[in-house]
Structure 1
Amino acid sequence: MDAPIRTLGIIGAGRLGTVLATLAASAGYRVLVARSGAPEPIARAMAAIGATASSIDAVIDEADAVVLALPLGSYRTLPAQRLRGMLVIDAMNYWWGADGIRPDLNDPRTSTSELVQEFLHGARVVKALGHMGYQDLEDEAKPAGAPGRKAIAIAGDAAGDLAAVSRLVDDMGFDPVIAGPLASGIMLEPGAEAFGADVDAGELRAMLERFEASQRGIVVARARGGTLWER
């Protein structure tokens, strides 16, 4: 599927969710933002950045794609049945300080986006928008072709969904770089060189290419029986 994203939903109204909402609204998208509770407490703040505070149900009903900007440990609170068939952009990462000690979220045999995909059975999960710090996202957005434009990596299994998310990333002010299938999203998680990277597309590609030989890459390959993933 390769339908354009016109209305972007964001579940999570923290720092990352708010920055992503600002970037998308500035790029001309209709943006709906939901929090875990009622939308009223964030209504004024969202209106100030050109977005609309909504309920999670309204976000799912009206958006063409939904960004998950929650603490990763909360992913099982998402309404999996309602998200079936939707393009879901996973911007979540495991932080022990927020999520607690969770060996299931730090298992090198699988990426966290694969765990999200398994739970959101029938959704179309793409990993993106979570490996660059929210402050860099806020400060570094530039028009296409601008010198020094920074890059965002994307991992997913469907070509059409990768294309749709690439357009979103480009519109938000960053060069999209395809990392590979959803399993390759582990290269964008804490512990990998690309996590926290604020670099251009050439350097980001080089980081991804170096992953296999990195300490984290070796750990992942060993855990997966000597291979990273099918390319």
Structure 2
Amino acid sequence: MEIGIIGSGNIGSVLAGYLTKSGHQVYLSNSRGPSTLGEIAAKTGATAATTEQAASARDLVILAIPQKAVVNLPIDILSASKAIVVDAGNYYPSRDGEISEIANGMTDSEWVANVIAHPIIKAFNNIVAPSLASKAAPSGNPYRIALSVAGDDKAQKKLVMKLIEEIGFDAIDGGILSESWRQQPGEPSYCQDLNKDNLEIALQQADVSKRAENLASADELARPYL
């Protein structure tokens, strides 16, 4: 597939390496321009690109950026794209500022979908970068880490889940996009390196009445690192 990744931080760079190794054509971009991506491109095998080039990828576009950067994306390109768009980010108010729609109950990826005027699949957000980089495992390993994939289009979810399996992790269907809060900061499934069975349990354990409280706690814990 032709895949664009917007964001060259820890998650974006690791995914670029995995996906290139799997045989996909990957265009990696950041806000500073392709001239700053030489080292990462050489390491991962991805092609250094502009954000516009990555957003124009034919099959899949992965957004691996802070929530506050979403408004600076090439929205005209993304809104017209026929590619699957995956949001791998997480909303942290102390970093991203208060977003009223999310504070009032919208999931962060629903907000992203509204901003870019394109459907979103939520994936790659419930694992920390070091685990993503080092804990891929063969299929059938009982300790293989599972990732949750949420979204409203079943065919698109299935394709993203296949990619996750391909790079060395299990994948489970996390439900529709409005349920993606279950895999977000502060919830039982978030960054716990769970196998498939335990991730299923953790998603169901999430309590919507504690959603705001859990996000606030996660935000406070993450504040020194953001």
What is the CA distance between 1:124 and its match in structure 2?
2.5
Question: Which residue of 69, 72, 75 maps to 1:77?
Answer: 72
TM-score, normalization by structure 2? 0.87
- The 5 Å alignment of 1:216-231 reads 216=211
Q: RMSD in angstroms over aligned alpha carbons?
A: 2.1
Runs (5+) with no aligned partner, structure 1: 1-5, 221-231
Which residue pairs with 1:93 in the alignment? 90
Q: Whole-Å Cα distance in 1 between the matches of residues 214 and 37 of structure 2?
A: 42
Does 1:168 find its partner at 2:166?
A: no
Which residue pairs with 1:202 in the alignment? 197
Deviation track 1:25-56 (CA, whole Å, cap 9, x = no partner) reads: 22222211001122011123212221111112
- The 5 Å alignment of 1:1-231 reads 6-83=1-78, 84=80, 85-99=82-96, 101-104=97-100, 106-107=102-103, 109-121=105-117, 123-212=118-207, 215-216=210-211
Report which of the two has the higher share of helix: 2
Q: Whole-Å Cα distance in 1 between the matches of residues 167 and 205 of structure 2?
A: 27
Runs (5+) with no aligned partner, structure 2: 216-226
Q: Whole-Å Cα distance in 1 between the matches of residues 43 and 192 of structure 2?
A: 29
Q: Whole-Å Cα distance in 2 between the matches of residues 202 and 214 of structure 1?
A: 24
SS for the counterpart of 2:65 is coil
CA contact (8 A) 2:102 2:111 kept: no
**CA gap 1:194/1:105 in 2 versus in 1, 3 angstroms:** farther
CA contact (8 A) 2:146 2:169 kept: yes
Q: Whole-Å Cα distance in 2 between the matches of residues 12 and 66 of structure 1?
A: 11
Identical positions, percent: 29
CA contact (8 A) 1:34 1:59 kept: yes
Deviation track 1:129-186 (CA, whole Å, cap 9, x = no partner) reads: 0111011111111122234111000000011111111111111111111110011111
Q: Whole-Å Cα distance in 2 between the matches of residues 13 and 150 of structure 1?
A: 23
Q: Whole-Å Cα distance in 2 between the matches of residues 219 and 151 of structure 1?
A: 21
